[in-house]
């Protein structure tokens, strides 16, 4: 099952408010200062059409949050800009799940987990959640309002992103992931649409619906269990439903860096799940073959982050960040010359539609066979 496949035009810019616990001051309040592609951000990203009746402007939610407008839509929820009447009218963002999500235990569990994990995290590079202790008339999450746009929009407008800028953005993302990993939590759905570029020349990670503790149930189920996430950015172990850890996020960030540097995703296929299978059996096209302007050192960094085997990647985001911050010190080992082209391999687990069809055919054939056997014994 594919999770939120939101593009530039769907989830849009999102989230708002003031932190519940006091938030630590950032080491560098403007780590993206001087990066041209992050300097002039749009006032608003486009929105997709509403998927259900939405809260109207002027609606006062639970006597506290005055709804102003919808600012983000996805297949999971609608996000509104609102005023917090208990905090001097401060702008916040209110994320309300779709009704069908509320009625689906698995999807609603993701929504609830996002709120619990978000409230437990506290770092300037992570979206700040606001705890609501009063009774709610319906489920929703309240967060800070982020003035800016998604990295997906930046990539859409700047292809490719200049090498220096791409490495810097990835470095700051490593810092954000480092805070999560230090608390035993992995993101598991890292993608450009889940990275907000703030107008204040910094960024924040958001959408913790698939986040999980490293040492607990990060595998959904073995066999034919549905997979959650965004196939284009999944690590091979996610596609294979194997154990996930911090190196899973490193692979996903490597995919994002590849996309920034080349303007393309590393594995191409009309079926995103087929594209996901390609990373299990092979390596991406060498980045410099798509953009010769990339330095050999930057290419080495990308390919090391995207190694198929987790033990061959960067082992921590700190190690990854060290190379991003000092690419001139990177030792080029020639990874680009040892890449293996993907081989197609049928995987019922990695192709949900095909697996569902085959299971259905198998069940039908079993019923037909049973009917024939019973008919012969009459």
Residues annotated as catalytic (active site), given as ranges? 189
Q: Would you call 325 helix, strand, or coil by DSSP?
A: helix
Non-local (6+) Cβ contacts of 300 within 8 A are: 330, 331, 332, 333, 335, 336
- Token pair belonging to 252: 């996903």
> What value, to the nearest 5°, has the Cα angle with vertex 165 and ends 23 and 200?
35
Non-local (6+) Cβ contacts of 20 within 8 A are: 119, 128, 129, 130, 131
Q: Would you call 358 helix, strand, or coil by DSSP?
A: helix
CA distance linking residue 218 with residue 242, whole number of Å = 8
- Token pair belonging to 153: 């929009």
CA distance linking residue 148 with residue 45, whole number of Å = 9
CA distance linking residue 277 with residue 177, whole number of Å = 25
How far, in Å, are 11, 107, 230, 276, 366 from residue 104 at the CA level?
Answer: 20, 5, 19, 26, 30
- Hey, how many other C-beta atoms are within 10 angstroms of the C-beta on 328? 6
Burial of 183 (0-12, 13-18, 19+ CB in 10 A): middle
CA distance linking residue 340 with residue 265, whole number of Å = 17
CA distance linking residue 115 with residue 110, whole number of Å = 9
Number of residues written out for the chain: 378
- Hey, how many other C-beta atoms are within 10 angstroms of the C-beta on 258? 26
> What value, to the nearest 5°, has the Cα angle with vertex 197 and ends 123 and 80?
85
- Token pair belonging to 112: 């609830």
């Amino acid at each position: 099952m594919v999770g939120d496949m939101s593009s530039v035009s769907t989830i849009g810019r999102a989230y708002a408010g003031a932190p519940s616990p006091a938030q630590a001051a950032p080491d560098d309040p403007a780590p993206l200062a001087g990066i041209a592609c992050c300097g002039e951000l749009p006032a608003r990203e486009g929105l997709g059409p509403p998927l259900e009746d939405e809260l109207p402007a002027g609606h006062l939610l639970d006597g506290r949050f005055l709804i102003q407008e919808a600012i983000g839509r996805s297949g999971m929820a609608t996000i509104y800009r609102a005023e917090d009447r208990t905090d001097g009218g401060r702008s916040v963002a209110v994320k309300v799940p779709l009704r069908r999500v509320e009625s689906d235990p698995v999807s609603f569990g993701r929504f609830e987990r996002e709120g619990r994990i978000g409230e437990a995290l506290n770092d300037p590079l992570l979206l700040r959640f606001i705890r609501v202790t009063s009774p709610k008339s319906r489920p929703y999450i309240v967060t800070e309002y982020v003035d800016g746009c998604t990295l997906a929009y930046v990539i859409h407008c700047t292809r490719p992103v200049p090498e220096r800028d791409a490495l810097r953005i990835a470095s700051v993302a490593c810092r954000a992931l480092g805070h999560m990993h230090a608390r035993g939590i992995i993101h598991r759905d890292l993608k450009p649409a889940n990275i907000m570029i703030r107008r204040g020349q910094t960024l924040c990670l958001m959408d913790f619906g698939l986040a999980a503790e490293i040492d607990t149930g990060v595998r959904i189920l073995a066999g034919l269990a549905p997979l959650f996430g965004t196939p284009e950015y999944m690590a091979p172990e996610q596609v294979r439903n194997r154990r996930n850890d911090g190196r899973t996020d490193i692979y996903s960030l490597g995919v994002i860096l590849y996309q920034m540097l080349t303007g393309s995703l590393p594995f191409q296929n009309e079926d995103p799940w087929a594209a996901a299978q390609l990373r299990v059996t092979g390596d991406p096209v060498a980045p410099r073959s798509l953009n010769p302007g990339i330095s050999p050192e930057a290419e080495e960094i990308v390919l090391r982050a995207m190694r198929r085997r987790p033990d061959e990647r960067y082992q921590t985001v700190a190690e990854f960040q060290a190379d991003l911050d000092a690419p001139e010190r990177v030792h080029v080992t020639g990874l680009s010359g040892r890449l293996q082209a993907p081989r197609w391999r049928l995987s019922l687990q990695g192709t949900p539609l095909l697996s569902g069809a085959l299971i259905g055919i198998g069940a039908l054939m079993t019923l037909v066979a049973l009917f024939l056997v019973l008919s012969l014994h009459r």
